[in-house]
Amino acid sequence: MVLRALRAGDARSVHEAYASDPEATRFLAWRAHKSLAETRRYLRQTRITAQQGTEHLWALLLKRGGLIGAAGIRPCGSRIEIGYVLGRAWWGRGYATEAARALTAWAMRQPSVYRVWATCDVDNKASARVLEKIGMTREGVLRKWIVRPALGPAPRDSFCYSIVKAREKRRAGNRQGAARS
């Protein structure tokens, strides 16, 4: 699989692969798009969030084939949140795990990042499994965390998963040791 920045020219592929599918978007924070124009607007918006540095999305492409989904990060200080969505046709083949693992590994290599995290709806078993497979720990439930419009108007409970760097602890320990000696 290859990751590259999502671009305006991806609108049709994004629309057909997952954005127009109520099943693929069921657990997302937005409803399935009813028209290609809506997907175009969505991609324009993702360009703005990328410029602002609040969210970066990549297209997931098969080396021999087209766009199958997207994955993204939301950086915030020493934390990076990850997310992903795949077209239904490609579920169950390990692609989300591959993408989430790659993004997490990249994020953890950034010196300023100490926490990589993700949330998923408490009913989203596949996504919870992906996060467990890449080595994240379930920290608990964020109650009434986010509205998932396909599932109703009220915010829903979400699992919170993370992986953190333990290194700073050791450094702090070393500093204490040095101060004592």
- 35 Cβ neighbours under 8 A, 6+ residues apart: none
Near ligand COA by CB under 6 A: residue from 12, 93, 169, 170: 93
User: Per the structure block, which two tokens stand in for 67?
Assistant: 């766009």
What's the burial of 80, exposed, middle or buried (CB within 10 Å: 0-12/13-18/19+)?
Answer: buried
Give the nearer residue to ligand COA in terms of CB position, either 27 or 117: 27
Q: Is 163 in the site for ligand COA (CB under 6 A)?
A: no
CB of 84 to ligand COA, least distance (A): 5
Find the largest Cα–Cα distance for the chain: 68
Q: Is 116 in the site for ligand COA (CB under 6 A)?
A: no
The candidate with the shortest Cα–Cα distance to 157, out of 107, 120, 126, 108, is 120
CB of 136 to ligand COA, least distance (A): 12
Q: Is 24 in the site for ligand COA (CB under 6 A)?
A: yes
| Ramachandran angles phi, psi of 46, nearest 5° | -65, -30
Q: Is 130 in the site for ligand COA (CB under 6 A)?
A: yes
Q: Is 117 in the site for ligand COA (CB under 6 A)?
A: no
CB of 156 to ligand COA, least distance (A): 11
Q: Is 138 in the site for ligand COA (CB under 6 A)?
A: no
Instruction: Give CA–CA dist 77/114, Å, rounded.
Output: 9
Interacting residue ranges for ligand COA, rule: CB under 6 A: 24, 27-28, 83-86, 91-97, 120, 124-127, 129-130
